[in-house]
Amino acid sequence: MSGTAGAEPGSNGVSSEEVITEMARSAAAARPVPHLPPAAAGPPATWADLLFHDPPSPRRPSAVLRSPDDPSQAVLLAVAALHEGLAQHFAELPRRARLDWLSERLGIPRRPMEPDEVVAAFTVARPRRAEPAGPLIVLPTGTELRGGRTAAGTERLYATTDTLTLQGAEISGIMGTLATPDGDWTAVRRDRDASFAPFTRQAAVHRLDIVTDVLAFTAGAATVTVTFPGQDATALAGSTWQWSTPDGLATVLPGSAVYENESVTLALTGTCGPLMVDGEPLTFLRVSFDGDSAPARAFVFETGAVQVRMERDGVLPDGGATGNGSVDITREFQPFGPTPRRGDSFYLRSDETFGKPLDRLTLTFELLDDSGNGLMAVDYAAPLQQWYAEGLLAKGIDVIGKIPYKEPDPGIQWQRRAGGAWQTFSTAGRKLHGSRTADIAVGGTPLSDPADIAGTVGRFVRLFLSGGDFGWEDHLRRVARFAEEVATAKKPRAGDLIAPTPPTASRLTIGYRTLTVTVRDLRTRNGHAVRRLDLPGPVARPFRQPLDTSAGAQGTVALGFAKLRPDAVGGLSFHVRVTQAPACASLGRVHNVTWEYWSRADSWMPLAVLDGTKGLRQSGVVRTLVPADWAEGCADQGTETDRWLRLRTSTPQLVGEVLDIRTDAVTATYRSTTDPTVDRGPLTPPAAGELKGLLRPVPGVKVSNPVAGTPGRAAETDEEYLHRATGLVRHRGRAIQPWDYERIVKDTFPEVAAVRCLPHTGAESCAEPGSVALVVVPRSGERLPYPGVTLAERILARLDSVRSAHARPVVLCPLYEQVGVHARIALASGVAAAEARESLTAALDARLHPGSRGFADFGRALYPSSLTVFLEERPEVDHVRDLRLLPPHAELPRVVTDACRGLIASAGNHELVLEEVL
């Protein structure tokens, strides 16, 4: 075929030969001919040497083919024009052949895009109190959420992965309990914005409240005896005794509690009265001790009943009254008035004393003189003898009507108000001065019922003058005799006109002793658990641990849900954010976890849960169904409100700190709008709070994301596919050699930055035949990156399907050797120290980060000189004057790490002394 043969004129009349010639001309002169050796002592042969007589030049811009009639010239001319494209094509043929062979012949699928994920938390506007609650709102799976705009300006959409019932609940409280054979501890979340460690070592309180109004008194002192029948009260020695007052709790002085057999005697001072406890006014004694004390460990105290008795002296009455009205007993007063008459009464009010069941009552009158001790200070025997001496009887005078006679002693009865009438319970006799004590036997009821006396309602006893009148009747007879003698011109006696002196008191005090009363209201607190013991009847161990520790330590994390709808049904979902524990913390241990709820039977019942937190070891969503018998309030958490569920575990050391809990939460994934095989999705997931709402708004419903999303993974590129598929061809989906384990983990989990396989290594030893340890370094910006629980579990699950039958894989954490640097650095001219300090510190942390070079140098030592070189290569640095490592590596020539698992990491405490140069 000639150079012009087959040439078709173009649209501009140019032949194809001319076109090809022009295409090849520019490149032919400088392009070597493949596989053609260069001429001796000359440059390599080019296409121009083969095709043209002379190469193009400014004087001769068009080259002339050597043999225009030779068919090969046209072929060579076409090859010269297509040489670059053909070379690239042939260079790619092996790669394309490998791709075709791996995908078409071996059928290895490409890894699709994995969308990023975000946690969406919803809130529901609550109706006003007068408005009825609306119907439950249920968001179906696939509900679309707006996540802002992508870099291309398109709407970023997310779709929920589960059906969500919006309950509108709030987390009202979080409580932790830890019980061990040595004691127990409790914790309560106080600050919503702070992390909460549920198993902090704050000793749990164990206490018994002995609730009875018998203990009440207003002022002064009291002696209380508490008896525990059939028990040794000395088991409570060393505990703290307190009593209630309206202003708070008062404490019995240390050492003043006297223990004797079944009883303990306490001295109370000041006052004892009702104190508000959980919204209820209670008068009580409290005995308590901490959970790590000896009584808490022993738990030997058991009781069937508790008995209380109180003794008081010097009690001042609340008031007094007579039939004529109130009497001011704070001043001198006459109990029966100035003219006592038979049937008179003195009413004495003491709500404290007479409102109790008494065993003994003592009234102490302090009189001004001897008034009231007898009828009169008159010797009745002398005038009687004189009248007989005068022979008055012989004169026929009516001696009975005229001679004074000694009347019977006045009888004073103590009476109480009961059954609507005054009932006598003791006789005091004729004297009032000093103390008069009555032993009372009126049962276990209060001594006196309330009564209205002289316009005052209170509890009274009265002193009733049942016989005699302290000489007033006799006085009236003598006055009559005096008048008769005056009228008959007889010699009257002046003494007949002396009136008797009525009893006059300057002070009145009360003393009493109550009956030994069996207390019917006993309340305990053990940790968070509050109980009101059922009495009468035997009570076993009022002081007890809240959890059974016979099998070892036990821990619970309880969550309270407030504002839950009364008609709540369906799903309950909440997101828990915790400080993720490294997987190495649970090596070789099974995290035993049970979720429970507090039922209306006042007990914990098991609850089926989909736990994305893996037992509160990592952040995740917890999903369950609302129990039908979920109770309002929980005695075990000491609350009468809210609904409670808890996580119970025998491995509390594996639980992380709780950072935040959001109810009505669900996960949502990026919804691709194009072909998922090519759509790379948003490379950066939404930051916290970036969700904008529902694509189709629902009235009263808002949505936000409390935490940043989890990055996804783009669809696999050709290079990534070749790398993974080639490795698959080598290990063939079986983990036999260490390389197989490492390659499978790296190819399966892009979040793994580095992995090292250690044969015959386990969690406890470097010589465990059959064990295969994988030291995993995740991709993380943290200073010390550790594999999390979920990553470790996923790795082990993946290896479980490819390992040999006898291999036992285990995920280990790296052993970091943390390094801190002290350096004196001369900065480059014009560099400010403030800016350089920040950039150099960040550079050092990045240089020492385990994944800074894209791989991990397991077992590699660090020389300080390498850091000097690194710093001096920085543009901010002129030179390093001095560099040394901080303790514990000071003065060491190099930092050595564990040969198998060791890695260098930054300690984050660098000390940089920077010198500025103008």
Range name among 251-255, 303-307, 780-784, 789-793 with the lowest pLDDT average? 303-307
Higher pLDDT, 285 or 75: 285
Provide the percentage of residues in the chain whose pLDDT is more than 70: 80
Q: Where does the pLDDT of residue 264 fall: very low under 50, low under 70, confident under 90, or very high at 90 and above?
A: very high
pLDDT digits (tens, 9 = 90+) for 220-243: 999 999 998 878 888 888 889 999
pLDDT of residue 662: 94
Q: 758 with 839, same domain?
A: no
Domain boundary at 526, 559, 592, which?
526
Q: 331 with 259, same domain?
A: no
Range name among 255-259, 360-364, 492-496, 603-607 with the lowest pLDDT average? 492-496
Query: Does the pLDDT at position 311 exceed 60?
Result: yes
The answer to whether position 386 is within a domain reads: yes
Q: Quick one: which of 415, 449, 409, 399 has its CA closest to 429?
A: 409
Q: What is the spatial distance between Cα 167 and Cα 138, in angstroms, rounded to a whole number?
A: 9
Mean pLDDT of the chain: 81
Strand partners, 473: none
DSSP 8-class letter at 830: T
Q: 447 with 564, same domain?
A: no
Specify the CATH number for the domain of residue 230: 2.60.40
Task: Look at residue 345 and give its three-state secondary structure.
Answer: strand
Return the half-sphere exposure (C-beta side, CA atoms, 13 A cut-off) of residue 175: 21
The answer to whether position 692 is within a domain reads: no
Who's near 649: CB < 8 A, 6+ residues apart?
A: 554, 555, 556, 591, 592, 593, 594, 615, 655
pLDDT digits (tens, 9 = 90+) for 807-861: 889 999 899 999 999 999 999 998 999 889 999 999 999 999 987 665 678 889 9
The answer to whether position 673 is within a domain reads: no
69, 72, 77, 81: CA torsion to nearest 10: 160
Q: Where does the pLDDT of residue 34 fall: very low under 50, low under 70, confident under 90, or very high at 90 and above?
A: low
Q: What is the spatial distance between Cα 413 and Cα 427, in angstroms, rounded to a whole number?
A: 4
Mean pLDDT of 477-489: 79
Q: Where does the pLDDT of residue 413 fall: very low under 50, low under 70, confident under 90, or very high at 90 and above?
A: confident
pLDDT of residue 230: 79
pLDDT of residue 365: 82
Q: How many angstroms separate the first and last alpha carbons of the chain?
A: 77
Q: 756 with 635, same domain?
A: no
**Helices (H), ranges, 417-546:** 472-487
Mean pLDDT of 373-402: 37
Higher pLDDT, 31 or 483: 483
Query: Does the pLDDT at position 894 exceed 60?
Result: yes
DSSP 8-class letter at 557: E
pLDDT of residue 531: 85
The answer to whether position 631 is within a domain reads: yes
Query: Does the pLDDT at position 263 exceed 60?
Result: yes
Q: 332 with 293, same domain?
A: no
The answer to whether position 155 is within a domain reads: no
* AA letter at 400: I
In the block, which residue shows the tokens 């109706």?
127
Range name among 126-135, 371-380, 442-451, 653-662 with the lowest pLDDT average? 371-380
For the ranges 422-436, 683-697, 841-855, 874-888, the one whose mean pLDDT is highest: 874-888
Helix (H), strand (E), coil (C) string for 896-910: CCCCCCEEEEECCCC
pLDDT of residue 120: 94
Q: 293 with 335, same domain?
A: no
For the ranges 201-205, 642-646, 889-893, the one whose mean pLDDT is highest: 642-646
pLDDT of residue 911: 93
The answer to whether position 128 is within a domain reads: no
Mean pLDDT of 240-257: 91
- Phi, psi of 395, rounded to the nearest 5 degrees: -80, 0
Q: Quick one: which of 839, 837, 841, 846 has its CA closest to 915?
A: 837
Q: What is the spatial distance between Cα 506 and Cα 365, in angstroms, rounded to a whole number?
A: 8
Mean pLDDT of 188-215: 88
Q: What is the spatial distance between Cα 393 and Cα 399, in angstroms, rounded to a whole number?
A: 7
pLDDT of residue 435: 66
pLDDT of residue 31: 53
Who's near 387: CB < 8 A, 6+ residues apart?
A: 393, 399, 403
Q: What is the spatial distance between Cα 120 and Cα 157, in angstroms, rounded to a whole number?
A: 12
The answer to whether position 693 is within a domain reads: no
Q: What one-character-per-residue DSSP string does 181-220 give?
A: TTEEEEEE---TTS-B-TT---BPEEEEEEE-GGG-BSSS
In the block, which residue shows the tokens 């001004």?
368
Range name among 146-155, 206-215, 358-367, 684-693 with the lowest pLDDT average? 146-155
Q: 877 with 837, same domain?
A: yes
Who's near 149: CB < 8 A, 6+ residues apart?
A: 155, 156
pLDDT of residue 537: 62
When divided into structural domains, the chain yields a total of: 6
**Angle, alpha carbons 377-380-382 (nearest 5°):** 115
Q: 767 with 824, same domain?
A: no
Q: 766 with 825, same domain?
A: no
Q: What one-character-per-residue DSSP string does 213-240 give?
A: GGG-BSSSEEEEEEE-TTS-GGGGTT-E
pLDDT of residue 9: 40
Q: Quick one: which of 679, 708, 674 has its CA closest to 691?
A: 708
pLDDT digits (tens, 9 = 90+) for 654-693: 898 999 999 999 999 988 655 444 444 555 688 888 898 9
Specify the CATH number for the domain of residue 760: 3.30.300
Rg of the chain, C-alpha, whole Å? 51
Answer for the pair 136, 168: CB distance below 8 angstroms, yes or no.
Answer: no
Query: Does the pLDDT at position 258 exceed 70?
Result: yes
- Which domain range does residue 222 map to? 205-301+516-526
Q: What is the spatial distance between Cα 622 and Cα 577, in angstroms, rounded to a whole number?
A: 11
Q: Quick one: which of 847, 840, 901 has its CA closest to 875?
A: 840
Higher pLDDT, 311 or 686: 311
In 619-687, where do the E strands start and end? 620-625, 643-649, 658-663, 665-670
pLDDT digits (tens, 9 = 90+) for 525-551: 888 888 887 666 666 677 777 788 878
pLDDT digits (tens, 9 = 90+) for 143-197: 999 987 766 677 788 999 999 999 989 999 999 999 888 888 899 998 888 889 9
pLDDT of residue 8: 44
Q: 346 with 490, same domain?
A: yes
Range name among 168-177, 369-378, 447-456, 709-718 with the lowest pLDDT average? 369-378
Q: What is the spatial distance between Cα 399 and Cα 384, in angstroms, rounded to a whole number?
A: 10
How far, in Å, are 61, 846, 856 from residue 853 at the CA level? 54, 9, 7
Mean pLDDT of 441-446: 74
Q: 290 with 238, same domain?
A: yes
Domain boundary at 812, 830, 852, which?
812
Provide the percentage of residues in the chain whose pLDDT is more than 90: 34
Mean pLDDT of 496-513: 83
The answer to whether position 824 is within a domain reads: yes
Return the half-sphere exposure (C-beta side, CA atoms, 13 A cut-off) of residue 125: 8
pLDDT of residue 548: 81
Domain boundary at 495, 526, 557, which?
526
Q: Where does the pLDDT of residue 774 fall: very low under 50, low under 70, confident under 90, or very high at 90 and above?
A: very high
Q: 276 with 377, same domain?
A: no
Within a 10 A sphere around the Cβ of 492, how many other Cβ atoms? 17
- Helices then strands, each counted (H, E), the chain: 13, 49
Range name among 46-55, 71-80, 575-584 with the lowest pLDDT average? 46-55
Answer for the pair 367, 433: CB distance below 8 angstroms, yes or no.
Answer: yes
Secondary-structure breakdown of the chain: helix, strand, coil percentages, each rounded to the nearest 5 = 20, 35, 45
pLDDT of residue 27: 46
